Amino acid sequence: MASERPKIGWIGSGRMGAALARRLLDAGYDVAVYNRTRDKAHALTPHGATVADAPVDLAGRDIVFTMVAGSSDLEQVTSGEGGVLTDPAKAPKVLVDSSTVSAEASANVRVAALKQGTEFLAAPVSGNPKVVKAGKATLAVSGPRAVYDQLEPVLRSLARAVTYVGEDEVARLVKIAHNVFLGVVIQSLAEITVLAEKGGVSRAAFLEFLNSSVMGSTFSQYKTPAMVHLDFTPTFTMPLLRKDFDLGLAAARSLEAPMPVASAAAQLVAAAVGAGYQDEDFAVLIQEQARRAGMTLRPEDVQVTDGLEDGDG
């Protein structure tokens, strides 16, 4: 891999997986893609990808990335029937998983990979597909430092910032902690925005002020259009956020680290999922917050920016 560009396999071309694989293709890498729904893999062929029939067909690639929905999916595409680690004659040099999964599942896959002579990096991603496309995603990576150093140029094709956080599965804890914080912040942002609107301030005006203040952030900026226009086209759904709260609170119990604010936010997220918010973006929490406040929100016809239009992707 040092003397020439590695050949890459990519498993999982949903919204996030496709955006990430596209960055590798745009960077000139040879990428072969597998997705359970084959049409989603074929959508990358105009950008130079080839399509594999099964994960095991990617076993001869130098590096194989996985980006799947959960822990059971990761174990299936790696060690399950037709998994990338099931060919007795060959296996990828390195397996890199960018999904958000439990540390236990990650450790199981690491053991299975090492049995095949394959190194394993956990490399979960912070960002949504539009953030990835704009070149503003970030990666937390754990595993053998020497393997990380070797793959760093490839990883930097995917994200604005890549942080090596330690050995084994610690990147999983970093990402789960990140996503718990994400859930707490979106609930808090919904609460204060509804408070301001109930007091007579438009959402657009309040969020413009917030984003210009020391409390504004990249996150509050790129959620502003969703909250102003009530456009909840999904980037990250409520059931996925609930899953990450479950993982984070399980880690907190295991490590004896109390998380009272996160626990309260998790209950509100679970209630929203129970109320039927399954397919919308998690910014839809503002609708539930408004309902509890006795309000019915209306889209505001105001031009606002998510701060990503000038991205380099």
Catalytic residue among 175, 198, 223, 243: 175
Side chain identity at residue 279, one-letter code: D
Q: Compute, in degrees rounded to 10, the torsion defined by CA atoms 29, 32, 37, 40.
A: 30
Token look-up 């479950």 returns 246
- Phi and psi torsions of 231, nearest 5°: -100, 105
The answer to whether residue 130 is catalytic is no
Q: Are 55 and 34 in contact (CB under 8 A)?
A: yes
The set of long-range contacts for 172-175, using a CB threshold of 8 Å and a minimum separation of 24, is 172/100, 172/101, 172/102, 172/103, 172/106, 172/122, 172/124, 172/142, 173/103, 173/251, 174/124, 174/140, 174/142, 175/100, 175/124, 175/125, 175/126, 175/140
Would you say the C-alpha torsion 9, 40, 305, 211 has a positive or negative sign? negative
Query: What tokens does 217 get?
Result: 């952030």
| Three-state secondary structure call for residue 307 | coil
**Residue 181 to residues 22, 45, 67, 186, 266: CA-CA distances in angstroms?**
28, 36, 21, 9, 11
Would you say the C-alpha torsion 264, 268, 273, 279 has a positive or negative sign? negative
Residues carrying an active site annotation? 175
